[in-house]
Amino acid sequence: MSLPAESLPGAAEHSDHGSLAGKRIVLGVTGGIAAYKAVEVCRRLVDAGAHVVPVMTAGAEHFIGRTTLSALASEPVQTSLWNEASPIPHTRLGQTADLILVVPATARLLGAYAAGLSTDLLTNTLLATRAPVVVCPAMHTEMWEHPAVQANIATLRRRGVHIVEPESGRLAGGDSGAGRLAAPDVIVGAVRQVLSGAWRGLHVVVSAGGTREPIDAVRVIANRSSGKQGYAIAAEAAARGARVTLVSTVDLPVPSGVAVHAVETAAQMQAALEALAPTAEVVVMAAAVADFRPVAAAEGKIKKDQGVPQILLEPTPDILAGLGDRKPAGQVLVGFAAETSDLLANATSKLQRKRLDLVVANDVSAPGVGFQHDTNAVTLLRADGSVHAVALADKRSIARAVLDTVDEIRASGTEHPTPSIN
């Protein structure tokens, strides 16, 4: 899935043309206020060369008219099981589609699809296809977060349905929160990703959170990393069809389809990553690993009345450098550089010293950037020398930018060469 065109390398509309030209896409539109955005999605798909067959539910007609969508699509809108030229329109639509896309997907549509209910032409078509399906939920925050909706989403994911999760932002009622339909270019990017199949079958390993090095039984040396960016990358990789293993030090909701390996210290993270990385096509080291740890941790709690303890520190292993030294041929290795000054110089040095293919650099002293925030702004530096800045955005959008750049590296074969062994 791709970022807005302004902030993504190579994300101009014409970049979709190669993967969408000639593809037959059934565009389902349901009855939510975000239905008006389906018109723009339709236009972008057609401009990219796709043959778009629109299907509207009765609810959708309360928000947009058939004439508008019919004028922009490749065929007139279809709405009924009974009024179309074909006696079995859902079977024809399902069997001839290269992909079915639902924009927006309401809570009602998600529930019916998860339960296997064929209540109208769109749900019948969804049940009568073996083509990949992409659904784009949009609803108010309380509805999106309701356990029943989340259970339906989880069910659909398990069945292989691709979910373009809603964004956070201003909603129809005037308040803000999660549930806003993803941007049209993000949706079209998701369609392109699914049809290309670039991530299916890949093993992606992601680390997240800050390590905690024990001082005594209750105190640790730690950092401010929340793990949110690593979790967003894991969720995005899973949404693209990859098999994802997340090595994590934090307790956040686990993205659907992601396996978690819980660790706490740098040594534990090193052991986990060294075991997992050799089988991965992509490794993203988003965790913030402590640079130092106590040489020896006290067995019990150090009491204040015992005086100020003298804590002798030693460096922790450089996990990322070790992964770079042992990187298998063809693997893309991504590191992060959280800096407060000399961002590009420090990130470039890390890229070169640790034999990385991509560094995601951010200035964590800037407002809204990095640790603890739900937003981030990064600069992507590749081993081939290219540099691309991504403006402040939510961390899932940053994840899309990172993985789209990984796509470019894999497609171009410009990953850092594997070191020779003498």
Contact call for residues 79 and 69 (beta carbons, < 8 A): no
Query: Smallest Cα–Cα separation from 107: which of 34, 189, 55?
Result: 34
Q: Is the distance from CB of 405 to CB of 380 less than 8 angstroms?
A: yes
138 Cβ neighbours under 8 A, 6+ residues apart? 32, 33, 34, 104, 105, 106, 166, 179, 180, 181
Neighbours of 367 (CB within 10 A): 8
Q: Check: CB of residue 259 under 8 Å from CB of residue 244.
A: yes
C-alpha gyration radius of the chain:
24
Q: Catalytic residue at 422?
A: no
- Reference 219, options 293, 162, 148; nearest CA is 293
* Candidate list 152, 223, 346, 362, residue with the active-site label: 223
Q: Quick one: which of 13, 45, 5 has its CA closest to 29?
A: 45
Contact (CB, 8 A) for 16 and 189:
yes
Phi/psi for 336 (5° steps) reads -115, 145
Closest CA to 214 of 270, 297, 289: 297
Q: How many helices (H) and strands (E) does the chain have?
A: 14, 19
Let me know the angle formed at the C-alpha of 246 by 316 and 326, rounded to the nearest 5 degrees.
55
Question: Residues with catalytic annotation?
Answer: 223
